[in-house]
Structure 1
Amino acid sequence: MPDTSDSHPDIHWPSGFSPEQAHSFCQAQAVVHAPPATAFALLADVPRWPQWVPGITETRAGPLARTYEVLFHGQRFEVFMGEQVAPRRLGWSGVGAGVQVYQAWLLTAVAGGTHAVIANVVRGPAAQSLAAKSPVWAQRLNTLWMAQLKRLSESAPDGVGG
């Protein structure tokens, strides 16, 4: 059972995906020196994820609105962009072979930019296996997502995402 003591109280978890129900849970946060709208625009633009999200090499529009097929480290995931409350909240769920994930972002305006929180709940046999072999794998991914979001948001011209 992962440590869920740092779970952010303002994140909306869908049924079945609370941190307490996870095989892997992690969270990261940072201050991004750009407006929330800039960070949100980058996160919500799924077709551009391969350009900046570590491990994602391809995205394709799915058959329904707000659905995508995403290749992550060679594994195919069906992704649904769920919660989208611009420019404050974003959440998506993904299903792949032996794994289900829900990733939530919370973006809050602060002096000098945005306080960004990313949290992941991962479930399934593949998540259990990875957690046993490398307990910090999910935290490393969160740290990479956050570093890339910070870099791109802060370098965006006139506070525009991308």
Structure 2
Amino acid sequence: MVGASDSHPDIHWPAGFSPDQAHGFCRAQAVVHAPPSTAFALLTDVARWPEWVPGVTEARTGAVAGAFAVRFHDHPFEICLGEHVPHSRLGWSGIGSGVQLYQAWLLTPVADGTLVVTENVVRGPVARSIDALAPVWTERLNVLWLAQLRRRLGKADGGA
């Protein structure tokens, strides 16, 4: 099973959301042909997620700074920003029916643009059920996020 030893050492996990406590965990990375500031701006422009994030059909900011709501594959999620270090790291936690998640992002400048690392921890009865049926589902989600991010920002060498 994938666990904490597979996590990037610079990811900051909130209490209760380490990979060892997950029902689903994955890590993916890619190089995008854009500076970290551009990648960061795209990731934090929540209102535009439906234009490029796979499965997101609605996104709106909340009344409280750092809170937003998304509709992902027709399921509503309330999201709270957990970490926000401009141009280098992001993290948010989400709650939906039967599932809790934390998604972390690291952005590191490299010669051809930005190395983007994303990791997800997913917990709850829905995550446990899906993981039993399709164990690679969390990996596919992160790979899709990165593929779309690369398309939006231009390709560079790298992979999931």
TM-score (norm 2): 0.93
Amino acid at match of 1:106: L
Amino acid at match of 1:121: V
The aligned residue for residue 150 of structure 2 is 150
1:11 is paired with a residue whose SS is: coil
Amino acid at match of 1:109: P
The aligned residue for residue 90 of structure 1 is 90
Amino acid at match of 2:118: I
1:16 is paired with a residue whose SS is: coil
TM-score (norm 1): 0.92
Q: Deviations over 1:128-153 (max 9, x none)?
A: 00100100111111100001111112
Alignment size in residue pairs: 154
Distance 1:81 1:53 in 2: 17
1:143 is paired with a residue whose SS is: helix
Q: Deviations over 1:77-120 (max 9, x none)?
A: 00112211010001111000000000000000011111110000
1:39 is paired with a residue whose SS is: helix
The aligned residue for residue 2 of structure 2 is 3
The alignment status of 1:114 with 2:108, answered yes or no, reads: no
2:138 is paired with a residue whose SS is: helix
RMSD: 1.1
The aligned residue for residue 39 of structure 2 is 39
The aligned residue for residue 69 of structure 2 is 69
2:139 is paired with a residue whose SS is: helix
The alignment status of 1:20 with 2:56, answered yes or no, reads: no
1:14 is paired with a residue whose SS is: coil
Unpaired runs of 5+ in structure 2? 156-160
2:64 is paired with a residue whose SS is: coil
The alignment status of 1:79 with 2:70, answered yes or no, reads: no
Residue identity over aligned pairs, in percent, reads 64
Q: Deviations over 1:32-91 (max 9, x none)?
A: 111111110010111111110000000122231111111000101001122110100011
Amino acid at match of 1:3: V
1:132 is paired with a residue whose SS is: helix
Q: Deviations over 1:5-45 (max 9, x none)?
A: 32100001111111111110000011111111111001011
Distance 1:68 1:113 in 2: 29
